[in-house]
Amino acid sequence: MSLSTLWAGCGSRLRRRRSNQRGFFLLEALVLSFLVLGYGALVVAYRAMAESRAAAGAEITAAYLAQEQVAWIEGQQASYLHAHGTISWRGGESAAPERNGTQFDISSSVSQHSETAALAVVETHVRWQIRGRQREETYRKLVAYHE
């Protein structure tokens, strides 16, 4: 048996083996691509859920901070409220609050109720930025003046 015959026989066996496995390789490539695409979709979905959760948490925090600001305003004397048109966070006594890594800017305006002099309308604006987007919520409450 010559070397060329031996080499030719070896080559035909290798070619036959490759042709039998060609479909198997295609199946492996398809499964791998589905796995990679599925993983990518999970990462995108997880990121969207995390952003949504952070945005919802910031909105809830904004509502609680607005309630705290209104409660602080309700505790002030009528003379203080008449003297200040716009009131910053706690009357400027403390810096603007930061909660969960988000800085909130809070300001309130107090105006007299149109029908009753003993009532005031408190309008509180809460602003914050999350993921590069500016957000703002406005809360209104009717409060009673006290001397």
* pLDDT at 99 > cutoff 80: yes
Confidence (pTM): 0.69
Position with higher pLDDT, 9 vs 26: 26
124 closest CA partner among 39, 76, 66, 79? 66
Provide the CA 140 distance to its chain's centre, in angstroms: 24
> What per-residue confidence (pLDDT) applies to 90?
85
Q: How many CA atoms lie within 13 A of 59 on its CB side?
A: 8
Q: Is 49 exposed, middle or buried (0-12, 13-18, 19+ CB in 10 A)?
A: exposed
* pLDDT value of residue 35: 95
Structural domain span for residue 92: 3-144
Domains in the chain: how many in total? 1
Mean pLDDT of all residues in the chain? 83
